[in-house]
Structure 1
Amino acid sequence: MSEFNEFDQQGSAPNRETGSIISHAFEMYKGVLGYAVVAMIVYMLGGYIIQLIFGIDSASMVEEMRESGGNFNYWSTPGLPLYMGASSLFGLLLSPLYVGLIYIVNKYNTKNPIEFSDLFIGYRQNFVNILIYSLLTWLISSVALALCVLPIIFVYPLLLIGYPILLFENASAIDALSKSFNIAKENYGTFLATGLLGVLISFAGIFLCGIGLILTAPFIMIVMYSTYCAYLGKPRQIMFKQP
């Protein structure tokens, strides 16, 4: 069975304040930007291929939504239900990539050499729990969105550090969800402000003709890592050992 071997390394951790956490995340992000861009390119290419398979033109669909005046019927669009299902499945299968990016950030923070294969560590370590956790958070977020946009704003901070817990503590999906919820509940104001600011920065790329999302979207994953460091301490660098 695979396992992690841990050892202490140098590195930084922010204070338990939103400004300190976001500042720390920026410093980390500058060091791993190339890997973050690769992760986003993989995600966007996959989404584009799925669109081609199901004959969906997202640009045309957005234009139709604008012209419909709010009366656009998603489910009457040919191929859209299957496309939405395939996109959701694709997003779920890519969730270990997010964990890999967090792993790379920790290697950068602890001044350890980074390898390209590190981006895929989530597919080798705790893979099933990462998928289960991603599915659970997707369900929770979907219910929150169905109740209107506002609930997801208040629910999201409770899920903020689940992925780092899955990686650094090799936790089960339920344990990661429970621990993230409990820590965020006790420090909700900071988690809410940090999560909102992290999401806003991540979506800032929309204003750069959309392509800027490749640069900004992964930032929220770095915010998760920095928040974990602030509240649970800088994790010791973990090295994956083959069976």
Structure 2
Amino acid sequence: MSEFNEFDQQGSVPNRDTGSIISHAFEMYKGVFGYGIVAMIIYLVGGSVIQMLTGFDSASIVEDMKSSGGDFNYWSAPGLPLYMGASSLFGLLLSPLYVGLIYMVNKYNTKSPIEFSDLFIGYRQNFVNILIYSLLSGIISSVALALCVLPIIFVYPFLLLGYPILLFENASATDALGKSFNIAKENYGVFLLTGFLGFLISIAGVILCGIGVILTAPFIMIVMYSTYCAFLGKPRQIMYSK
């Protein structure tokens, strides 16, 4: 049977404002930068394998869209339904890596030794609730995106604390969702701006240089950790034992 053993250590905590949270996240990201890249490589390699297995060719789809003059039907692309289903399942199964990265950030913040296996703690601790939360947040985000994209900007702040709560409080998926919503509701301005800036920085790799997304995408996970520290205090260092 697995459980969490906890003990206090030193660590930095940002103030409850966007500038302090983002600055704290940058400082924290320095310590887990390489592991964030590993997580992204796993995600990209898995996505490429799924494309090969489903016969969906995103590169050719982009070319067809450019040459169609605006008449291209994306949903009629060969292999799209199977690809969408498989990639969604893969993304869901990969969500514990986000928790693992947050766990590593906390170890860096408390000056504890980081091990490569820490990246996979989400597969050993609270795994089912992490998957359920990922599914629920994915549905919420998809609905927001379907409502003309813009609503996702205003909905995402309510999801900002979910993964840290799942890790540090060993909460259920619904409890994590509810607590994240309630805290964000009371501090919505800060959460909105923090989530927006964190997201912009995370996608900067796509805008500046496509492959750069490997370097920047994990940053939003660090923002989640720094936001948790600001509003709920520095988590205790977690020792996982079987």
TM-score (norm 2): 0.98
Structure 1 residue 56: deviation in Å? Answer: 1.7
Tell me what 1:207 maps to.
207
Q: Which structure 2 residues correspond to residues 34-49 of structure 1 after superposition, within 5 A?
A: 34-49=34-49
1:172-211 alignment, distance < 5 Å: 172-211=172-211
2:59 matched to 1:59? yes
Higher mean C-alpha displacement, 203-212 vs 99-108 = 203-212
Give a deviation string over 1:166-192, Cα, whole Å, max 9, x none.
Answer: 000000000000000000000000000
**Superposed counterparts of 1:153-168, under 5 Å:** 153-168=153-168
SS at match of 1:212: helix
Any idea what SS the aligned residue of 2:239 has?
A: strand
**Alpha-carbon distance between aligned partners in 1 of 2:68 and 2:185, rounded to the nearest angstrom:** 40
Q: Which residue of 2 aligns with 1:170?
A: 170
Residue 11 (structure 1) aligns with: 11
Q: Deviations over 1:13-71 (max 9, x none)?
A: 10000000000000000111000000000000000110111122212212223333444
Determine the structure 1 residue equivalent to 2:139.
139
Q: Which residue of 1 aligns with 2:96?
A: 96
Deviations 1:206-227 (A, max 9, x none): 1343110000000000000000
Q: Which stretch of the first structure deviates more once superposed, 67-76 or 215-224?
A: 67-76
Question: Distance in 2 between the 1:3 and 1:176 partners?
Answer: 18
One-letter amino acid matched to 1:12 = S
Give the secondary-structure state (helix, strand or coil) at the position aligned to 1:148: coil
Unmatched tracts of structure 2, length 5 or more = none
One-letter amino acid of the structure 2 residue matched with residue 203 of structure 1: I
Identity, % of aligned pairs? 83
Q: Which amino acid aligns with 1:77?
A: A
CA distance in 2, matches of 1:172, 1:23: 30
**SS of residue matched to 2:111:** coil
- Alpha-carbon distance in structure 1 between the residues aligned to 2:68 and 2:161: 39
Q: Secondary structure at the match of 1:149?
A: coil
Q: Secondary structure at the match of 2:14?
A: coil
Query: Over aligned residue pairs, what C-alpha RMSD do you find?
Result: 0.9
Alignment of 1:63-102 (within 5 A): 63-102=63-102
Matches within 5 A, 1:15-34: 15-34=15-34
Q: Mean Cα displacement is larger for which, 207-216 or 68-77?
A: 68-77
Which structure 1 segments of 5+ residues have no match?
A: none
- Cα distance change on mapping 1:73 and 1:96 into 2, 3 Å: same
Find the aligned partners of 1:67 and 1:191 in 2 and give their Cα distance.
41
* Stretches (4+) displaced over 6 A: none
Instruction: Tell me the amino acid that sits aligned with residue 4 of structure 2.
Output: F
Normalised to the residue count of structure 1, the TM-score between the two structures is 0.97
Alignment correspondent of 2:119: 119
Cα deviation for residue 232 of structure 1 reads: 0.1
Match for 1:177: what amino acid?
Answer: L
SS in 1 for 2:5: strand
